[in-house]
Amino acid sequence: MTIAETQKEIINDFALLEGDREMSVMYLMDLGEKLPAFPEEQRIDGNLVKGCQSKVWLVATLRKDRIYFSADSNTAITKGLVSLLIRIFNGHLPDEILDGELFFMNQIGMDRFIGTQRSNGFAAMIQRMKQYAKALKTTSGIQA
């Protein structure tokens, strides 16, 4: 599934909630709970996303030229937000991640249920994922 297709799927998922703010927040928190367990040894300062109000640990691994992310947060909503990004970017080539345009946030009305601080943190998570993609592409020698 492409990055755009996954975003459309997320938009459809949120559309079922009919714009209900409380249900959207609960759904987001539920998504975060479904993230795989994050290894305790990965909870180090070097894996923290700078710019997030909450603590967000994020790591990336390369398998067969594709990037896979794992993450955790100390707050349920932020964990849900990072789970959406993982859903979108996991299993893609570095260039797909670097070139991927994210549009789902406006379509689901994300600004209605996260504040400015979380929006800044969300942007920092996206930036960190793209930094990982660039670094892994460079170190692995993957060609576009």
Percent of residues, the chain, with pLDDT higher than 70: 97
Residue 66, burial from CB neighbour count under 10 angstroms (0-12, 13-18, 19+): middle
19 against 6, higher pLDDT: 6
The 3 state secondary structure assigned to 4-60 is: HHHHHHHHHHHHCCCCCHHHHHHHHHHHHHCCCCCCHHHCCHHHECCCCCCCEEEEE
Residue 141 — pLDDT band, cuts 50, 70, 90?
A: low
Is 9 contained in some domain?
Answer: yes
Residues 82-120 pLDDT 10s:
999 999 999 999 999 999 999 999 999 888 778 777 788
Is 100 contained in some domain?
Answer: yes
Sign for the CA dihedral angle at 54, 37, 15, 96 comes to positive
pLDDT for position 90: 98
pLDDT for position 2: 97
Is 144 contained in some domain?
Answer: no
pLDDT for position 139: 84
Strand partners for 58: 71
Sign for the CA dihedral angle at 142, 10, 119, 77 comes to negative
Number of domains in the chain: 1
Domain holding 53: CATH number?
A: 3.90.1010.10
| Domain assignment of residue 119, given as a range | 3-139
Number of Cβ atoms within 10 Å of the Cβ of 82: 29
